[in-house]
Amino acid sequence: MKSKIPSIFIVALVTLFGCGHANAADDYFDTLTKLAVQGDAGAQNDLGVMYAEGRGVPQDDAEAVKWFRKAAEQGHVEAQGKLGFMYFLGQGVPQDDTEAVKWYRKAAEQGHAEAQINLGRIYVEGRGVTQDHAEAVKWYRKAAEQGDVDAQLLLGGMYKWGRGVPRDYAEAVKWYRKAAQRGYAAAQFELGWMYFYGWGVPPDYAETVKWYRKAAQRGYAAAQFELGWMYHLGRGVPGVPQDYAEAVKWYRKAAEQGHAEAQVNLGLMYAEGLGVPQDYAMAYAWYNVAAASGAETAKETRDIIKKEMTPSQIEKGQALAREILDRIQKRKEAAEAE
C-alpha cells in the first residue's frame, strides 16, 4: 500500500541537513514542534512524517502515530491516510484493520486518491470489512478519475478479470492505456499483454513489443522476460526477427532481478548455446538459481544436464550459482532500502 506524500516542511528540513546547516535544521524542528503543540494540523502531520521516517529525529512509530492522530482528528486529510496506514501495518499501534478502514475512509471521502486506493484494496482483501469487489471498484474509480496511475492500473485489472464489474476488456485497455501513456511500467506491460492476446484490441504483436519494450526499459522484470520471449520465438513480427542474443539480453535483465522463468530460460540458452557460447557450468548455475526461486522445472532440467557435466564443471556451476544468488539478494536489499 502507498504511504508517502511529499511535504514542503520535510523537503525544507532535508534541504537544510543536506546543505550542512545542522543548527538551522534544529531551529526548524523546534519551530515545527511549537506549531504542532499549538495545534497546527499541517505541522502535526509533518512532525509525524519526520518520526515515521526518521528524518532529523530518531525513528519512532509511536511518536509518529501521536502526531498523525492529532492532525487527523482536526480533519487533516494526509494525516488521516497516514494514520490508517499505521493501523493497517501495526506500526506504532496494535494492528487494527477496523481502525485502518475508519481513517482511510475519512481521507477517501475528502477525495484523497491514495486513501481511496488503500480503501479499495481493503475491500478486495476483506480486511476490517466484508469483501466487496464492487465497493473496491467504486474507490479505485474515484482515484483513477483523478489521474492516479496506480488506481488506473488497479481499475483496469478489475475490468480485465470481471471483479466487481462485468468483464470488459475494452474498458480494461482504456484504463491501462491512461497509465501506460504516463510512463507507468506495470500498465505498459499489461497493455502489451492485451495486444498479445487480442483482449479489447485487435491482436498486434508489434504493439505488444512496443509496450513490453517501454516497460522493460524501465526495469520491469516481467516485461523484460516477455520481450526476451518475443525475440526467442521471433513471432514473425516485422522488425523483431528471431534473435537469440537479444533474447539472452532481456532474459538476463529479468533473471538478475529474481524472475524465475527468466532464470530458467537463461539456463536453457546457455545449455543449448543459443545467443551465447554453450556453457554447461553457467546453465547449471542459472538452473540452480531458478530452483532456489521456486521454479520446479529447473530442478529437473538441472539434473538432466548434470549427467553431461564433469565434476569440475558442476563445482564451477555451484560456485557461480552462489555468486548470482548473492548478487540478486544484494540488489533486492538495495531496492528495499530506497
Confidence band, pLDDT 50/70/90 cuts, at residue 244: very high
Confidence band, pLDDT 50/70/90 cuts, at residue 17: very low
Write the CATH number for 64: 1.25.40.10
Would 281 be classed as within a structural domain?
Answer: yes
Would 258 be classed as within a structural domain?
Answer: yes
Would 317 be classed as within a structural domain?
Answer: yes
Final residue of a structural domain among 96, 130, 156: 96
Would 237 be classed as within a structural domain?
Answer: no
CA-CA distance, 12 to 7, in Å (whole number)?
9
Phi–psi pair at 240, nearest 5 degrees: -130, 70
Amino acid 239: pLDDT:
63
Residue with cell 516542511: 9
Would 235 be classed as within a structural domain?
Answer: no
Domain that holds residue 273: 243-338
Amino acid 337: pLDDT:
81
* Whole-prediction pTM: 0.88
Amino acid 26: pLDDT:
74
Q: How many domains does the chain have?
A: 2
Res 12 pLDDT > 90: no
Lowest mean pLDDT among 163-177, 182-196, 222-236, 306-320: 222-236
Confidence band, pLDDT 50/70/90 cuts, at residue 235: confident
CA-CA distance, 183 to 211, in Å (whole number)?
10
Would 153 be classed as within a structural domain?
Answer: no
Amino acid 338: pLDDT:
74
Would 211 be classed as within a structural domain?
Answer: no
Over the stretch 96-151, which tens digit does the pLDDT of each residue have?
A: 999 999 999 999 999 999 999 999 999 999 999 999 999 999 999 999 999 999 99
Q: Which of 249, 327, 246 has its CA nearest to residue 285?
A: 327
Higher pLDDT pick, 3 / 298: 298
Would 17 be classed as within a structural domain?
Answer: yes
Res 5 pLDDT > 70: no
Grid cell digits, residue 300: 529437473
The DSSP call for residue 240 is B
Final residue of a structural domain among 50, 79, 96: 96
Amino acid 84: pLDDT:
98
Distance, first Cα to last Cα, the chain: 16
User: Please, which residues have CB within 8 angstroms of residue 112's CB and are 6 or more apart in sequence?
Assistant: 77, 78, 80, 81
Confidence band, pLDDT 50/70/90 cuts, at residue 4: very low
Amino acid 23: pLDDT:
63
Final residue of a structural domain among 80, 96, 112: 96
Over the stretch 248-287, which tens digit does the pLDDT of each residue have?
A: 999 999 999 999 999 999 999 999 999 999 999 999 999 9
Amino acid 56: pLDDT:
86
Res 2 pLDDT > 90: no
